Amino acid sequence: MKEIIIATKNQGKMVDFKKLFAPYQVEVKSLLDLGETLPDIEETGSTFEENALLKAKGIADILQLPVIADDSGLEVDALGGDPGVYSARYAGLEKNDEKNLEKVLKNLQGIENDKRTARFICVLAVVEPGKKEVLTKGICEGRISNNPRGENGFGYDPIFFPIGKDVTLAEMSGDEKNKISHRRQAMHQLKDWLKTRYEER
């Protein structure tokens, strides 16, 4: 079977991607599945697009294979768009999901529900050696909860109510999250690219 490499070390993203790629005959592999030691690509960009391209190009250059990278994060309006591109390292470089979401809740203390609007953003960069790169962007609008709720998902899922829902992403099943998520929407825009390369199941 064909393979595609996702330039990520985030296992939560990979759970989403495995389901999102299920309609296609392709095996998805993360950097954690590759035995070799690949360098950590520094995310020095100031936008999701720049960082997604840095990650995809960095790995595609080394492996000389097609690579997809995902740069994503949470933008909270009452925090001026933070944590944004710093979502993974909001509470420190050790990238702790629980500390990150606690920091968002602490910074939103006293802010009323209707002012807790936020969105998840996912930018996907596809880089194939010798070809023009492709970028897609998915957005999932919602609101930040007052407390963490739910055990599913990863990252900020326990504090995010997607618009029109009264459960957080972490209270939904993976399949439910994948119907509405920012990652799903970014993947949807890649449909034509995917169809030209992989057979549907």
Ligand X SMILES: O=P(O)(O)OP(=O)(O)OP(=O)(O)OC[C@H]1O[C@@H](n2cnc3c(O)ncnc32)[C@H](O)[C@@H]1O
Q: How many residues bind Mg ion (CB under 5 A)?
A: 1
- Residues of 162-187 as b/e, b for ≥16 C-beta within 10 angstroms? beeeeebbbbbeeeebbebbbbbbbb
- Helix or strand holding residue 72 (H, E): strand 67-76
As measured in angstroms, the least distance from the Cβ of 199 to ligand X is 27
Question: HSE of 60 in the Cβ direction (CA atoms, 13 Å)?
Answer: 22
> 21 vs 48, which CB is nearer to Mg ion?
48
- Give the residue closest to Mg ion by C-beta: 88
CA 49 from chain centre, in angstroms, equals 12
Instruction: Report the site for Mg ion in 67-96 (rule: CB under 5 A).
Output: 88
Choose, by CB under 6 A, the member of 157, 159, 171, 187 that binds ligand X.
157
Q: Is position 10 annotated in a ligand binding site?
A: yes
Q: Does 88 bind ligand X (CB under 6 A)?
A: yes
154 touches ligand X (CB under 6 A): yes
Cβ partners under 8 Å of residue 178, min gap 6: 16, 19, 20, 184
Q: Which of 29, 38, 43, 84 binds ligand X (CB under 6 A)?
A: 43
Site pattern 114..153 for Mg ion (x: CB under 5 A) = ----------------------------------------
Tell me how far apart the alpha carbons of residues 69 and 78 are, in angstroms, rounded to a whole number. 28
- 8 Å CB contact between 122 and 138: yes
Known catalytic residues are: 71
Among 2, 3, 9, 27, binds ligand X (CB under 6 A): 9
Binding residues for Mg(2+): 42, 71
